[in-house]
Amino acid sequence: MAQNMDTTKTGWPIPTKVKDDFVEFCARVESHAQADCAGALFLWLRMPPQIREWAKLAAKGEDAVPAEFWTGLREGLADSLPSQLGELGSSKGA
């Protein structure tokens, strides 16, 4: 059993499989979180300055616009993206 245990920096033994599974899980989740943050930053830089300002205020709990604005923005983007992507695809072939 001792050969199946590793000692962590905190000093207690843990099963090698648990440690390996945990390291693999952290690596997988971290890459998703980094990719999400990178994508959010990419979009953030392309948002109109007023929306960025409203988002910063909302993050601090200061609602400059009603909650319905964010719902409408999300729904509007979801509705318009397919047509925008279609136009981008057709302009590539032109």
Sole residue written with tokens 């499989």: 17
Number of compact structural domains in the chain: 1
Average pLDDT, the chain: 82
In a domain, 73, yes or no: no
In a domain, 39, yes or no: yes
Higher pLDDT, 32 or 66: 66
pLDDT of residue 4: 62
Q: Which H or E run includes 58?
A: helix 49-59
Residue 43 has pLDDT above 60, yes or no: yes
- Say what the pLDDT of residue 18 is: 85
Cα angle at 38 between 34 and 42, to 5 degrees? 170
pTM above 0.75, yes or no: no
What would you measure as the largest C-alpha separation in the chain, in angstroms?
A: 67
Six-digit token string for 80: 């318009």
Query: Does a structural domain hold residue 32?
Result: yes
Domain contains 86: no
Domain presence at residue 79: no
Give the domain extent around 19: 1-46
